[in-house]
A = this chain, B = another copy of it.
Amino acid sequence: MTKVGVLTSGGDAPGMNAAIRAAVRNGIANGMKMYGIERGYEGLIDGDIYEMDIASVGDIIHRGGTKLQTARSKRFMTEEGLDKAVMMIQNFGLDAVIVIGGEGSFKGAATLADRGINVMCVPCTIDNDMGYTDTTIGFDTAVNTVLSAIGNIRDTSSSHERTTIIEVMGRSCGDIALYAGLAGGAESVLIPELPFDLNAVCMRIVQGRNRGKKHNIIIKAEGVNIETNELADMIHERTGVDTKVVVLGYLQRGGTPTASDRLFATRASFKAIELIRDGASNRAIGLAGMEIVHYPLKEAIEIPTRPATDFLRLIDVLS
């Protein structure tokens, strides 16, 4: 009987639970034994592994976070940790491991693949920084969470005729900022992929005020190389407009996953099981348009991210 482990790794993202559920249930439907591995590669090294039945993934499809816990594992980066992980996989007789996580987790999976372990990778991170797939699981939820925050902040910002800088996540990728900025009607969006022009940002504020605009929302990705409070001070100094800062932080990681994220997670994990059943190995599963697709893992992780920088032109014209 085929035995398959499932783990979630790296920063958590909404949709991880939907991915776990689909893997476990489709695995069992295909006659496999399914095993949950706790806390990502940490739990793999420690052998925190247990069988999961259909009921164990009941009532989680709509929950944020991950039932299996997640972690960033330093030990897994060492030869010794990797050895232990491989040994545990062999001890438990796992024929394949489904890795649900982001870029770092995929690289970890690739090192397992080098040791002869069959890994199937499901792209789950709010950062949308994986080039081989149209989008990543959790990104849509994070963008909608930021959008809802923009809504709240616009109320108060326009009541006080203020500028507000909202700092969002995304590590070195500007997509959360770009998507939320364009969808939220932000006046300026600052991303790590491109240098920003403080003068242009200030000009928009001044022109907006002259035109009678009551609020200015600036979305700044965390990867942009300037401290947010410092930026606020510089804007205040140059424009005279009261400028506040909101750092959304971990808010963006949680919350009920959106339909889109649940569907992608469900379909991707469902496919992971089919690939294992059909004898495939070491694939990265992704979305291309409406279709679930898959690529050789090592090729997939080499494809560079394509941030939506063309949104900047629209933001410029429309806000």
Contacts and interface: CB of A to CB of B under 8 A. Distances in A.
B259 A149 contact: no
Nearest to A134: B290
A12 B318 contact: no
A144 B70 contact: no
Contact of A249 (B66, B246, B254): B246
Interface in A58-90: 58, 61-66, 69-71
Contact of A12 (B22, B39, B159): B159
B154 A259 contact: no
A208 to B, nearest CB: 10
A212 interface: yes
A254 B246 CA distance: 13
Interface string A224-268: 000000000000000000001111111111111011101100110
Q: Is the interface of A mostly helix, strand, loop or mixed?
A: helix
Contacts of A145: 152
Nearest to A249: B246
B255 A155 contact: yes
A18 B185 CA distance: 9
Interface in A257-307: 258-260, 262-263, 266-267, 270, 288-290
A21 B266 contact: no
A151 interface: yes
Interface residues of A, number: 79
A160 B61 contact: no
Contacts of A200: none
The number of times this chain is found in the oligomer is: 4
B317 A29 contact: yes
A160 B289 contact: no
Nearest to A154: B254
A152 B290 contact: no
A21 to B, nearest CB: 7
A249 B134 CA distance: 33
B254 A61 contact: no
B155 A318 contact: no
A180 B259 contact: yes
A164 interface: yes
Closest 7 CB pairs of A and B: A152-B254, A64-B155, A65-B155, A155-B254, A289-B289, A65-B159, A156-B253
12 contacts: A8-B159, A26-B314, A55-B212, A64-B152, A64-B156, A69-B159, A152-B252, A183-B259, A183-B266, A260-B260, A288-B289, A289-B289
Given A12-B156, A21-B185, A134-B289, 15 more contacts: A12-B160, A21-B318, A64-B152, A64-B156, A65-B156, A145-B152, A153-B250, A154-B254, A155-B254, A182-B262, A183-B262, A247-B249, A258-B258, A260-B260, A266-B314
